[in-house]
């Protein structure tokens, strides 16, 4: 059995990647309002600050800062996933034998977390969050993606929008970008 070691240091900023159980789904975008409600309710019960966030169809990347002395991010993710899952119908094609009691097959069981080490590490993770929609091939410029904290960063002067897409924004593996949600790639 794999052994997962989670950081439990309080007073840190954490970077998280949380995925849907099914790659390529648009679940988080289709149900963005329910995701926001689940996030707000979780923050009400277990406070934390969202420094940065981007929501794609099947993945969420975010930076969280927890209250001083609190390192309980796992309970927050468990609550958020649970609240969201209760609000969304289970996929029809998920076999019951694959699910654990109480699961609907919406979320990947684990999440990836990283404790931010310093200002350079924080800047790198912010940049990754802001450019994730471009890296995924959904938009040409980060500011074109509506479900991102980049708009808050632009208002604060932390990110300058506009200009052409430079090498830093090109998809890392140079794959052909995906068609935008709701557009049939075969038809275009």
Tens digits of residue pLDDT in 105-128:
567 877 788 888 888 999 999 999
The mean pLDDT value for 21-36 works out to 87
The mean predicted confidence, pLDDT, of the chain is 77
- Write down the pLDDT at residue 143: 92
Cα(8)–Cα(5) distance, integer angstroms: 9
Q: With 80 as the cut, is the pLDDT of residue 3 above it?
A: no
For 39-66, give the DSSP string: HHHHHHHS--EEEEEEE-SSEEEEEEEP
- Write down the pLDDT at residue 23: 83
- Write down the pLDDT at residue 146: 94
Q: Which of 168, 136, 153, 145 is nearest to 63 (CA)?
A: 153
Q: Which residues contact 134 (CB under 8 A, 6 or more apart)?
A: 140, 141, 142, 145, 165, 169, 170, 171
Q: Which residues contact 154 (CB under 8 A, 6 or more apart)?
A: 143, 160, 161
- pLDDT: is 186 or 76 the higher one? 76
Q: What structural domains does the chain harbor? A: 13-169 (3.30.70.1290)
Q: Which of 171, 149, 146 is nearest to 159 (CA)?
A: 149
Q: With 70 as the cut, is the pLDDT of residue 154 above it?
A: yes
Q: Which of 24, 27, 16, 17 is nearest to 106 (CA)?
A: 27
């Amino acid at each position: 059995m794999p052994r997962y070691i989670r950081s439990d240091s309080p007073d840190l900023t954490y970077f998280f990647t949380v995925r849907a159980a099914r790659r390529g789904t648009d679940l988080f975008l289709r149900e963005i309002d329910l995701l926001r409600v689940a996030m707000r309710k979780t923050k009400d019960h277990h406070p934390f600050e969202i420094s940065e966030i981007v929501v794609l169809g099947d993945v969420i990347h975010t930076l969280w800062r927890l209250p001083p002395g609190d390192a309980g991010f796992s309970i927050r993710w468990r609550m958020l996933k649970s609240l969201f899952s209760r609000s969304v119908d289970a996929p029809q094609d998920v076999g019951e034998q694959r699910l654990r009691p109480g699961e609907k097959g919406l979320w990947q069981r684990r999440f990836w977390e990283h404790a931010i080490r310093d200002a350079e590490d924080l800047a790198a993770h912010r940049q990754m969050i802001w450019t994730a929609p471009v890296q995924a091939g959904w938009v040409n410029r980060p500011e074109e993606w509506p479900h991102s904290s980049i708009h808050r960063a632009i208002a604060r002067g932390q990110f300058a929008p506009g200009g052409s897409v430079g090498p830093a924004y090109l998809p890392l593996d140079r794959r052909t970008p995906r068609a935008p949600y709701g557009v049939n790639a075969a038809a275009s």
